[in-house]
Amino acid sequence: MRNPNAYGICLGMLIIFIASACHTPDQHLTCNDLAAHGNGVKQEDGRCLLSGDLLINQIKTASLPEGLTVQGNLTIKGSRIRQLPKGLVVEGNLSLYKTLIGSLPEDLVVLGSFYSTFGLGSPTIWCHEIPDSVIIQGRNEGCGI
């Protein structure tokens, strides 16, 4: 005679095993990690300077280093990043596409334009909630009215 509870236990253990094998831990990028994106990276006066554009298109990426200067465009697509790092300077355009980012840091500097596309379940960055200290020199098309 077969025990139906044993089948349930085995099935449950199999599901837990598959889920744990497929889970990828969040990745908190450091300045050195950014070198893997193919751009020149150096640390200078406590800041992380990245030459060229930076595309974050990885679901597992959870954070960027504080004091980051992107000497080009910064594009973030569908990652686990919930907030931009303190001291972020983007010398080109800042583009957010279906992210979890719902606000901008008070010391953000964007020398280009700011764009954002919100997906289902993405928080909206409201224009009236952007701190006055945020600098966006180009067009601001990234916030909801």
Tens digit of each residue's pLDDT (9 = 90 or more) over 30-89 = 888 887 766 789 999 999 999 999 998 877 888 899 999 999 999 999 888 889 999 999
Which amino acid is located at 115 in the chain? Y
Of 51 and 23, more confident: 51
116 to 6, 73, 111, 126: CA distances (angstroms) = 51, 13, 16, 11
Which own/partner pairs from 45-50 qualify as long-range (CB within 8 Å, at least 24 positions apart)?
A: 47/87
